[in-house]
Structure 1
Amino acid sequence: TIDAIIYDGVMKRGDLIVLGGFDGAIITKVRALLLPKPLDEMRAPTDRFNNVEEVYAAAGVKISAPNLEKAIAGSPILVAQSEEEAKILAAKIAEEIGSLRISSQDTLGLVVKADTLGTLEALVSMLKKRNIPIRIADVGPLSKREAIEAAVVSKDNRYLGAVLLFNVGVNSDAEEILRGSGVKLFQGNIIYRLVEDYIEWVNEEKRKERERELEKLVRAGKIRIIPGYVFRRSDPAIVGVEILGGVIRPGYPLMREDGRSLGTIMQIQDAGKTINIARTGMSVAISIRGNILVGRHVNEGDIIYTDIPENHVNELVDRFAQDLSNDELLVLKEIVEIKRKSNKLFATSSYIKLLQIIGKGAK
């Protein structure tokens, strides 16, 4: 049986009807039409319906007929006057439903499932407006095959290897695939919220990914040794510094204003606590291991810069300039200019781009 709403015309017992199915259009004959009894006549769960000969619009009805096991929720139901007309209607319904259901193994895209054709159409439309590709879009719970498709996409693009489910669940065998593959699953019963949750996840994950990539680079930092705060002169040197611009992290190499290498930051402490980053305006203690002797190679009050490799400068300018603060960009410019005094070809193209970026920011 299926539950349906007759919103136009009439349906009779024995009518030839056509509706959409997962394996194509279904042509079948109505065996019984069951209307819900009025509330005051409902005596037992087994006796809740009246068996009627015909139903007029508009009414909700339970239809009993053969071969309805694979009927698609939300499909139109049409009454045909003959077998010939039924075949014509079946072709129209198949075309209509086929335009809503998507199965494209050549596309790296989402797997989208909904409870009815109507909600599927709305969900797919919203995703397409946002230019989000779709690999599979269909009605019903997530199947094992669809979970595998999502896992395949996830290996190439984890942002598109995701599943969006509107008002439907996940088959047990599909759950195992999702757990083992790391495919991100989104479920909800509000279409726009479901799409927004997915977009927010993508944006947040991409932000984290950029942060991880940025952490691999030596960033621009400018510090000053605070007079009276030299705790150890060498091996390692431990000094108090103020961050004049940019950032510093443990592992960053340092250089003097003339470009001479001083060593590498081992540790940063703020008020006795070890931290992994210090930013503009902070005053912290750092330990430096390398070719440094405070009083010979550097003195109290001296300015020190992070010593950025050329390939890191190129990455910072080409890929991450929009993630850097204005003060960090200015310090990066100073560092490149120091390096170019001994190597006029140092990061030439990046230096030109950097000057343009800073110039635009100043306007």
Structure 2
Amino acid sequence: MQIVALSLSLHQVKVIAGLGTTVDVILRNGILKEGDTLVLTGTEGPFSTQARALLMPQPLRELRVKNAYVNHKAIIASQGVKITGKDLEKTLAGTPIFVAKKPDEIEVLKDEASKVVSSMLSAIKLQERGVYVQASTLGSLEALLAFLKQSKIPYCGVNIGPVHKRDVMKASVMLEHDSQWAVILAFDVKVEREAQEIADNVGVKIFTADIIYHLFDNFLLHRKELHDRQRRQHEAMAIFPCKLRILPNCVFNTRDPIVVGVVVEAGLIKKGTVLTIPSKSFVDVGVVSSLEVNHKQVDIAHKGVEVCIKIEPTGGEAPKLYGRHFDHTDLLVSKVTRESIDAVKKYFREDLQKGDWQLFIELKKIFQII
């Protein structure tokens, strides 16, 4: 069996006016003849077609000039050639081309073409969690993966050619783990209508672009919007770690609501924080409904800040009285749980500093959280 292998790096698919879809290749060895049976890798797998015409530019002529090609009956290696033929629009650029000299070689070469592409894709190191990447050629796929690696964005699956239903189903697996990765980055490829419909139904986001940077920017914007939405959804559950010391000369109201000035000794305090007193058998003082610094409303106060807070009773709890249930000698801490800690870790990690995490460890021991 004689196999004519054409260059992977210079193999391109182009639409030329008057010629239709053509493929540009470099003939590395042997002789390619008009009418030879070609085995190529297509968007739906390997296929065969005949080389209808072998075209090369006329000597000393600009390629942009119309009718600048000369048809040849045969091409001898090593040189470039433009080939016309049926179904070439299905060809995946960057994949190998083989020549079948006998009919019984076609199926063998189809298997060989599949193995070459599978080997190339399987050599790409994938992560357990990440985006799904689709590109028009192996070269553009490698370029996109290099950019994602540099940007520290993991990828769990790759493919070349248009986005099909099977690609969406593979990407949808990330919905069970982390929805931010349930994304297909489709670079310079079409998305089949059925694939887009399924993606919309199951919740997979497909981004398409002809420029890598645009694809990257669209994905980052999507991830930020998703993260912001998740933060809003889990804001009530996320209790930040804090230690508060009441300022004895800043007690403005002793009951329902309690209004006192405090200094944040550690961590950070925000609206919605439930405060408790470990030294008084973990009596719940109430929930922080507002904060003021220098008579201005704030959403959060960090370590070292003196802040006036309003504390209202938690649902179902009898109002606590300053001076009876607690006073300025008692340390107030945020009432954290396993669920609230997990919510902070997952959705508000960037809001905490090193000292805040150390306080979390201390509070976990106080509340005996495993």
Greater mean deviation of Cα atoms: 93-102 or 227-236: 93-102
State whether residues 153 and 160 of structure 1, in contact with CA within 8 Å, keep that contact through their aligned partners in structure 2: no
Q: CA deviation at 1:8?
A: 1.3
- Cα distance, 1:53–1:331 mapped onto 2, change above 3 Å: closer
State whether residues 127 and 133 of structure 1, in contact with CA within 8 Å, keep that contact through their aligned partners in structure 2: no
- Cα distance, 1:277–1:139 mapped onto 2, change above 3 Å: same
- Give the paired residue count: 332
Structure 1 gap segments, 5+ residues each: 338-345, 351-363
Query: Within 1, Cα distance between the matches of 2:90 and 2:130?
Result: 26
Match in the other structure for 2:295? 272
Structure 1 residues 1-363: aligned runs within 5 Å = 1-9=21-29, 10-37=31-58, 40=61, 45=66, 47-100=67-120, 110-120=131-141, 132-134=155-157, 137-143=158-164, 145-146=165-166, 148-149=168-169, 152-157=172-177, 158-171=179-192, 174-175=195-196, 177-179=198-200, 181-187=202-208, 216-256=237-277, 258-259=279-280, 260-290=283-313, 291-299=319-327, 301-306=328-333, 308=335, 311=338, 325-326=354-355, 329-330=358-359, 333=362, 337=366, 347=368, 350=370
State whether residues 112 and 164 of structure 1, in contact with CA within 8 Å, keep that contact through their aligned partners in structure 2: yes
- Cα distance, 1:58–1:333 mapped onto 2, change above 3 Å: same
Q: What is the DSSP-based 3-state SS (H/G/I as helix, E as strand, rest coil) of the residue aligned with 2:116? A: helix
Q: CA deviation at 1:244?
A: 0.9
State whether residues 43 and 161 of structure 2, in contact with CA within 8 Å, keep that contact through their aligned partners in structure 1: no
- Cα distance, 1:78–1:242 mapped onto 2, change above 3 Å: same
Q: CA deviation at 1:132?
A: 4.5
Q: CA deviation at 1:316?
A: 9.1
State whether residues 247 and 328 of structure 1, in contact with CA within 8 Å, keep that contact through their aligned partners in structure 2: no
Q: CA deviation at 1:32?
A: 1.3
- Cα distance, 1:254–1:132 mapped onto 2, change above 3 Å: same
Q: CA deviation at 1:203?
A: 10
Q: Which amino acid aligns with 2:74?
A: E
Query: Within 2, Cα distance between the matches of 1:277 and 1:21?
Result: 57
Structure 2 gap segments, 5+ residues each: 1-20, 123-127, 314-318
Query: Within 2, Cα distance between the matches of 1:306 and 1:51?
Result: 84
Question: Residue by residue, what CA displacement relative to the aligned partner does 1:272-326 show, whole Å, maximum 9, x if unpaired?
Answer: 3333332211111111234344444444x53431252665688699999996643
Query: Within 1, Cα distance between the matches of 2:73 and 2:147?
Result: 42
Q: CA deviation at 1:328?
A: 6.0
State whether residues 147 and 177 of structure 1, in contact with CA within 8 Å, keep that contact through their aligned partners in structure 2: no
Q: What is the DSSP-based 3-state SS (H/G/I as helix, E as strand, rest coil) of the residue aligned with 2:250? A: strand
Query: Within 2, Cα distance between the matches of 1:326 and 1:172?
Result: 51
- Cα distance, 1:92–1:292 mapped onto 2, change above 3 Å: closer
Q: What is the DSSP-based 3-state SS (H/G/I as helix, E as strand, rest coil) of the residue aligned with 2:304? A: coil
**Cα RMSD (Å) of the superposition?**
4.7
Q: What is the DSSP-based 3-state SS (H/G/I as helix, E as strand, rest coil) of the residue aligned with 1:142? A: coil
- Cα distance, 1:266–1:151 mapped onto 2, change above 3 Å: same
Please report the TM-score for the alignment, with normalisation by the length of structure 2: 0.67
Q: CA deviation at 1:213?
A: 5.5
Q: CA deviation at 1:138?
A: 3.3
Q: CA deviation at 1:243?
A: 0.7
Q: Which amino acid aligns with 2:83?
A: I
- Cα distance, 1:98–1:305 mapped onto 2, change above 3 Å: same
